[in-house]
Amino acid sequence: MSGATHTVLVVGHADRDEADGVAHRAVEWLLERGHRVVATADDRAHLGLAASQVADLTDIGSVTLALSIGGDGTMLRTVKLIAGRDVPVLGVNVGLLGYLSEVEPPAIISALDDVMAGRHSLESRTVIDVEVHRAGAVERHRALNEASLEKLTAGHTVRLAVDIDGAPFTTYQADGLIVATPTGSTAYSLSARGPIVSPLLRAVLVTPLSPHMLFDRSLVLGPDEAVVVTVTGSRPVGLAVDGEFLGELRPGDRIVCRESKQPAVFVRLHARRFHQILKTKFGLADR
């Protein structure tokens, strides 16, 4: 990115007071150096950014760098806004866990200086394309973490038939099912006792939620093995992608999950060892 003028998308957490200050410092630094800054109307409002300085996001194709100021949820929203384009994301952690973010707020200016000078690397993360087939229509979504299907009625299980790579696998009787990426292995899938997988791997994870059956294990599949989940039985399920509820799936509806050809791209300024980040977040001792 060295030597170029960039259009930078700023995305911020609406409920973190610190996000405002970080955004203002970043915008001032970028504008002083001739870069263009854009944001959605909502982000501009809750970050208190002036319309005279920060333009409305009207063409995502013009964006060359995204600045995510928040926690992992803000990173997910930033990746969604980019919509599969090859735009690197620099994450500033003003959240809680911050698995995905690269820098802390005091380092924002030095981080931007390093990125603009080309002193950084890029890391690709697997994204799942999620096709939703219901009511005779097809919807398309992208998941950096997971697609989850869950029961809507307490006290009852649902039945979800799973095909893998074009062949029937089994029908789960469970509270639901999670189809996750390696990045998502430390998100919702983790709470369902799914495996922790290095985000540098290309894989698709399938984890049942409270299965009422003898087979209760997670599956770690290859990136080219498409997963189809069909709602069977009589009960509907709720569908969410990266935590956003997308409505009900009725019996006969299905989702198709496969690795996207457009991964998410994160800016890295430091050498990162996933297992060391995991150790820090969980407070693990050396021995």
DSSP 3-state of 26: helix
In DSSP notation, 155-195 reads T--EEEEEEETTEEEEEEEESEEEEE-SGGGGTHHHHTTPP
Which positions are annotated as active-site residues? 72
E strand or H helix that includes residue 268: strand 264-268
Beta bridge partners of 176: 150, 209
Q: For residue 276, what are the CA distances in angstroms to 97, 123, 191?
A: 14, 17, 20
- The HSE-up count of residue 194 (CA atoms within 13 Å, CB side) is 31
- Please tell me the distance from the alpha carbon of residue 201 to that of residue 20, in angstroms, as a whole number: 35
Q: How many helices (H) and strands (E) does the chain have?
A: 6, 19
- Please tell me the distance from the alpha carbon of residue 187 to that of residue 257, in angstroms, as a whole number: 18
- Please tell me the distance from the alpha carbon of residue 87 to that of residue 8, in angstroms, as a whole number: 10
- Please tell me the distance from the alpha carbon of residue 177 to that of residue 157, in angstroms, as a whole number: 11
Contacts of 110 (CB under 8 A, 6+ apart): none
Q: Are 46 and 103 in contact (CB under 8 A)?
A: no
